[in-house]
Amino acid sequence: MKKYLPFFLLLTGSLLYSACSSDDVEDLTTITIDSDLKQSFEVSVAETGPTTISTEKTFDATSDAQILDFGNKISAYQMDSLTLEFKSYVGAADINLNNASLSIKKADGSNLGSFTLIPSSNIQEINLKEFDDNNVVITITFDDASTQAISDAFLADNKISIAVSASVDGQPADFTVETVLYLKVSGSLAG
C-alpha cells in the first residue's frame, strides 16, 4: 500500500489541477475594491450678486491609491451612488436652494446625462441652514442605463465630471456641498 500512495497522491493532484480552468485562475488574481471619490463644491452667493450657481468638478479614480495600484489592469467600474451633504452654511435661516440639477460628463466634455435634484418628487427645496444643522445626506442613485454609461466612461478615462447648476431664493449665502461618488472597481494586481 505504501508503494502506491505517492502515485495515488500524484494522480489526485493532477486531476484536481486539470479540473481548474483558466477562468478559475483568473478569478484568483482579479479583485474588486470599494472606492469613494470626494469633491467639495464651495458656494458663495454675494449680497449683490446673482442667485444662480454654476460649477463643475472632476472625479478622477486614479486619485485613489488602491485604484492607482491597478495601473492599466482595471477590468470594470461599477457606480453605486452619489451623496450630497450641505455643510458650513453662513446666511439667513430662511434661504433655500430651490432649483438644482446635475450634468454628468465624460472626460471629453460630452454629456452622459442630466438629472434634476430640485424640485423632484422627493425634495421641493432645501433649507440650507436646516440641512447643515441636521447633517442631512442626500443619496442619488441612477437608472441602469445611466449607471452603465457612467461606468463605461470611467473605464475609458478613469474620470468623469459633474456640473451643478442651482439657484437660491435669498442672499448672501455661503456653504459647501460635499459630494461622494461610490464605486466598485475590479482589476488584476498580477504581473
Strands 96-105 and 126-127: antiparallel
Q: Is 4 inside any structural domain?
A: no
Q: Average pLDDT of 158-163?
A: 96
- Distance of alpha carbon 162 from alpha carbon 104, whole angstroms: 5
Q: How far apart are CA 20 and CA 11, in angstroms?
A: 15
Question: Is the residue at 142 inside a domain?
Answer: yes
Please check the confidence at residue 15 and state whether its pLDDT lies above 50: no
Strand ranges, E, within 13-64: 30-45, 52-60
Report if residue 12 sits inside a domain. no
Contact at 8 Å (CB) between 160 and 105? yes
Residue-number span of the structural domain to which 60 is assigned: 30-188
Asked whether residue 11 is assigned to any structural domain, the reply reads no
Task: Judge contact between 118 and 100, C-beta under 8 A.
Answer: yes
Q: Are 84 and 137 within 8 A, CB to CB?
A: yes
Lookup: cell for 51: 442667485
Tell whether 53 is covered by a domain.
yes
As a whole number of angstroms, the distance between CA 107 and CA 67 comes to: 18
Nearby residues of 85 by Cβ (< 8 Å), 6 or more positions away? 131, 135, 136, 137, 138, 177, 178, 179
Q: Is residue 83 part of a domain?
A: yes
Q: What is the CATH number of the domain that holds 131?
A: 2.60.120
Q: Tell me the C-alpha distance between 107 and 178, whole Å.
A: 21
pTM of this structure: 0.81
For 85-143, write each residue's pLDDT tens digit: 999 999 999 999 999 999 999 999 999 989 999 999 889 999 999 999 999 999 998 89
Residue 113 lies in a domain: yes
The verdict on residue 24 lying in a domain is no
pLDDT, tens digit, for every residue of 2-12? 555 554 444 44
* Total structural domains within the chain: 1
User: Which of the residue ranges 72-76, 148-152, 171-175 would you say has the lowest mean pLDDT?
Assistant: 72-76
Cell numbers describing residue 71: 495601473
Note the pLDDT tens digit of each residue in 42-69.
999 999 989 999 999 999 999 998 888 8
